[in-house]
Amino acid sequence: MKTPPILAPRKMINVKEAVSSATKALQDLFPGKDLAGLELEEVELTEDGKSWLITLGFDVPRKGMLSLPLDMRGEYERKYKIFTVDGDTGHVTAMKIRKP
């Protein structure tokens, strides 16, 4: 009877690599878009330990604010995206809108 092969321990990407993958994906998905104030907001490892959840925040120019008084209008509004990054490959497998 053959003994099963010994599996090498899984080498998971670190959090810096996951953040880098998420940031690159955001910039690739929205080329030429003004993503002012791009910042890392949250980092979380999924419960199964197989993926990273990376939340990135950025400012985009506001639209449709002309009906508000001048002192209540802001030039930008904050947007948030959650990226799921595969812990083994570093590939982004999902992107979702995160509401504050």
Q: Which CATH code for domain 15-64+71-97?
A: 3.10.450
User: What's the rounded mean pLDDT across residues 16-38?
Assistant: 91
Q: What is the pLDDT of residues 31-67, one digit of tens each?
A: 877 788 999 999 999 999 999 999 999 998 877 655 5
DSSP code of residue 30:
S
Identify which has the larger pLDDT, 65 or 77: 77
Amino acid letter, 59:
D
pLDDT of amino acid 70: 47
Q: Are strands 51-61 and 36-45 parallel, antiparallel or unpaired?
A: antiparallel
Comparing 71 with 58, which gets the higher pLDDT? 58
| Rounded CA separation 40/31 (Å) | 19
- The domain spans of the chain are 15-64+71-97
Q: Which helix (H) or strand (E) holds 60?
A: strand 51-61
Residue 65: Cβ within 10 Å count: 13
Judge whether 67 and 90 are in contact, CB under 8 Å: no
pTM of the model: 0.78
Q: What share of the chain in percent tops pLDDT 90?
A: 59
